[in-house]
Structure 1
Amino acid sequence: MAATQTDLSQVKVNRWTRTSLIGSPVALLVILLMFALPYITALSNIRALTDLLIFIIIGSMWNLMAGYGGMESVGQQAYIGLGAYGLVVTADLLGINIFLAIPLAGLIAGVIAFLLSFLAFRLIGGYFSIGTWVIAEVIKLIITQFPELGLGSGVTLYAMSGFDKDFRIALSYWLALIITALAVLVCVLLVRSRFGLGLTAVRDDATAAATSGVDVNRAKRVVFVISGIGTGLAGAIIAIQTLRVQPDSLFSVQWSVLMIFMVVVGGVGTIEGPIIGALIFWGLREALAEYGSFYLILLGVIAIVFALFFRDGIWGIVQKRRRFSIFPTGYTTTFGSIK
């Protein structure tokens, strides 16, 4: 027994692996280098890259909620719309500086997400998914009742009219890059934390987690609100990029479909999965968008194949063959690794 105790006392638990020690600094370096892209490439490419960053943000936020919190929402487009309209209200109607209005727009989406959680959490399983979609539609109908917000036809974001077009395109890209970095960082910190461990337990079995001392509703609510804030910030970036806030496009269920596609293909419940899924979706869109319906059919076929045969997604397949992690979210010991 004494020998066993001595051996156990020598066991070291580390969060950093060889790959994460390399991958995290490389990811940081890539982000820093990406800030220089508006100076070295065409603005049309910057617009496309801004779209990619928006996809990463919303994919990461949906994955945080579904992949770690076990809440499969089909109504996250509600917060895209709330973020965009929140920017119009704060920047145009209230006259707040645009750089302050952006985080306020995300905060507005988060506050509304907090209030809506008391309604949404009364539903479980498929009822929760459908309920979030209905909530998104109700929010859309409410917003379209205000003449100041353009009713059903939408409204123009005038707060950006004072900026040069080229600078506005670059600015929307830089803001999207900053928010993307923050979104991924928040996901990493949450998953690494004790709270993240409890959240994973809630995802796997809420009843068992509750009996182990985890406050299930609190854990879910925190993630629900964070996801709403991040998705709302993405909506604000969309408004800056397009200068037009239209309810039919912002509150379209297609946004949730894209989030689900990116996370399912990339890998549910991983930090890297939504990034890979966003890259795949963005690449397919850029290469095949001109083919119209064929492009949409291909996306559907890919989603079905992964849902049926590769449920862990691309990153899950990679990790099954070789333990690999870009971000330090797992645990390693002398006796092996624990995810």
Structure 2
Amino acid sequence: MLVAVGVGMFGVPFAFRTDVVQQLTTLCTLLIMAVMWNVLAGYGGLVSVGQQAFIGFGAYATIFLAQRGVAAYLAVVVASVASGLLAVVLAPLLLRLRGGQFAVGTWVVAEALALLVALDESLGGGTGVSLRGLNAIAPDWRSAYTYWLTLGFALLLLFLVFLLLRRRSGAAIQAIRDDEEAAASLGVRIMPLKFMLFVLAGFGCGAAGALTLANTLFVQPSSIFGVQWSAYMLFMVLVGGIGTYEGPILGAVLFFLLQDWFAQFGAWYLIGLGVVAILFALFLPRGLWSLAGDRLPFRLLPVGYTLRPGR
């Protein structure tokens, strides 16, 4: 079913106006961010408030490559891979931290990267920079190409997460989240699995940042490295259903609608998101998806393992 929906969505640019296509591109990037944060925190227990480090790195790596003659859309792909490589470099340091220390450590990395970019005049400094490589493409086609690339990344990452959770690694990852010491005593390889999750999330968030740049054509360190991205991801996952496959998808759609309706309220909008997230954590900790998932006679997207009583 997921494949059928994805194939149908590829026809969107032929049926809707350019502004609608751009909005759906934004929705796909939010979906990527939600799914990646859920992989870390919902399944791996790695609560990060610094994934904007990879979002910003992916965007500015695209600028860096485009300035050196790499085709813009190819630069988006290469920058996404480079974000995964950055996660490989950072993993040995950050994965030694636990709980609040890990959360703060990821945030410090994001702030350090933002400062380094702001000090680099070739990348626009603190005033920002444009992705000029896409200006030569007609707006309608540029919007369509960016949407198709974003949708392709979203489907790829959803498939990778689905594949990861359907294998024995899915149960092992959740065992690490629930009790790392107990999982280790049962022979679960803790560090390799956490490393895999961290790198996957780095790659996905880097792709989201690069695709956000391709959609907006302009980026600033203060916005692309802003901590609001972590707030958005946390909101989408908590409201949709943390630790579920379908929850972040539902949360991304809901957040997209709320963002469109209430963004004009500025800082109060962010405060409102925080209050709603707290209320869900207190009164509906399994998120909105639990209201539907518990009532379905079957699992929509079956991942993990289910114990059934013998007959």
Residue 59 of structure 1 corresponds to: 34
Q: Deviations over 1:146-204 (max 9, x none)?
A: 22211222222122122111211121111111111111111100111122221111111
The amino acid across from 1:36 in the alignment is G
The amino acid across from 2:283 in the alignment is F
Residue 121 of structure 2 corresponds to: 147
- Aligned residue runs from structure 1 range 64-213, under 5 A: 64-93=39-68, 95-213=69-187
Taking the aligned partners of 1:225 and 1:258, their CA distance within structure 2 comes to 20
Residue 15 of structure 2 corresponds to: 40
TM-score, scaled to structure 1: 0.87
Bigger mean CA offset, 248-257 vs 193-202: 193-202
The amino acid across from 2:24 in the alignment is L
Bigger mean CA offset, 29-38 vs 80-89: 29-38
Change (3 A) 1:294 1:251: closer
Check if 1:251 corresponds to 2:225.
yes
Residue 50 of structure 1 corresponds to: 25
Check if 1:285 corresponds to 2:259.
yes
Q: Which runs of 5+ in 1 are unaligned?
A: 1-24
- Aligned residue runs from structure 1 range 235-246, under 5 A: 235-246=209-220
% identical aligned pairs:
44
Once the 2 structures are TM-superposed, how far is the Cα of residue 60 of structure 1 from its aligned partner?
A: 0.2
Once the 2 structures are TM-superposed, how far is the Cα of residue 286 of structure 1 from its aligned partner?
A: 1.8
The amino acid across from 2:42 in the alignment is G
TM-score, scaled to structure 2: 0.94
CA radius of gyration, larger in: 1
The root-mean-square deviation of aligned C-alpha atoms, in Å, is: 1.7
Choose which of 265, 270, 274 in structure 1 pairs with 2:248.
Answer: 274
8 Å CA contact retained: 2:170, 2:304: no
Choose which of 215, 228, 239 in structure 1 pairs with 2:189.
Answer: 215
The amino acid across from 1:237 in the alignment is L
Bigger mean CA offset, 158-167 vs 266-275: 158-167
Q: Deviations over 1:42-87 (max 9, x none)?
A: 2111111111111100000000011111100000000000100111
Choose which of 250, 253, 263 in structure 1 pairs with 2:237.
Answer: 263
Q: Deviations over 1:90-119 (max 9, x none)?
A: 2222x1233332221011111111111122
Choose which of 227, 243, 249 in structure 1 pairs with 2:201.
Answer: 227
8 Å CA contact retained: 1:318, 1:324: no
8 Å CA contact retained: 1:267, 1:316: yes
Q: Which runs of 5+ in 2 are unaligned?
A: none
Bigger mean CA offset, 300-309 vs 271-280: 300-309
8 Å CA contact retained: 1:69, 1:220: yes
SS at match of 2:119: coil
Bigger mean CA offset, 43-52 vs 142-151: 142-151
Taking the aligned partners of 2:277 and 2:287, their CA distance within structure 1 comes to 10
Matched positions, count: 310
